[in-house]
Amino acid sequence: MKATANEKRKLSDGTAPNAKEQESKKFKTSSLFDNGSNDPSGEQVLVIQQLKDEIVGLQKQLSQKDNVILERDKRIAALSAESMRSEKDYRAKMADAQKSNQETHEALQEKIRSLSKQVAQLSRGKRVPVVFNGNGSPSAAAAATSS
């Protein structure tokens, strides 16, 4: 098959030539009929073949662009899934950190209450034996004996 002038002039990105070039092609095609050639049916066959070639080229171009769009859609879906997964992981880490901080806060509040009771008892003049357990806070036995 013979490549048409428009196919030769396709841009590097695969797009068709501009409207001006297409108009010039129409004029060239119509000039075939104006030349007064001997066999108009042969010229029509030539025009039909050129149009078929152009259709094939456009179908290839359409297929390529469809493939590009499909690849981009896949990339977008993958990035979206990755983003959602990252956000989910971030939220889980934040929830764990918040829970850990809350537990630490409650433990420290309990220690403050216990030490405040000891300070109050000592300031009233009662002698309270202070016994510390393994984690550095007073044991319940010390608080129970002072009551």
> What pLDDT is attached to residue 41?
85
Where in the chain are the domains? 5-116
Backbone angles phi, psi at 132, to 5 degrees: -95, 140
Write down the pTM of the prediction.
0.45
What distance in Å separates the CA atoms of residue 20 and residue 10, rounded to the nearest whole number? 13
Residue 8 confidence (pLDDT) above 70: no
1 CB contacts (<8 Å, ≥6 apart)?
A: 49, 53
Task: Answer yes or no: is pLDDT of 147 > 50.
Answer: no
Residue range 74-99, pLDDT digits in tens: 999 999 999 999 999 999 999 999 99
Helix (H) / strand (E) containing 51: helix 40-123
- Residue 11: pLDDT band (50, 70, 90) is very low
Mean pLDDT of 41-47: 91
More confident residue, 65 or 145: 65
Q: Where are the beta strands (DSSP E) in the chain?
A: none
* pLDDT bracket for residue 125 (50, 70, 90): confident
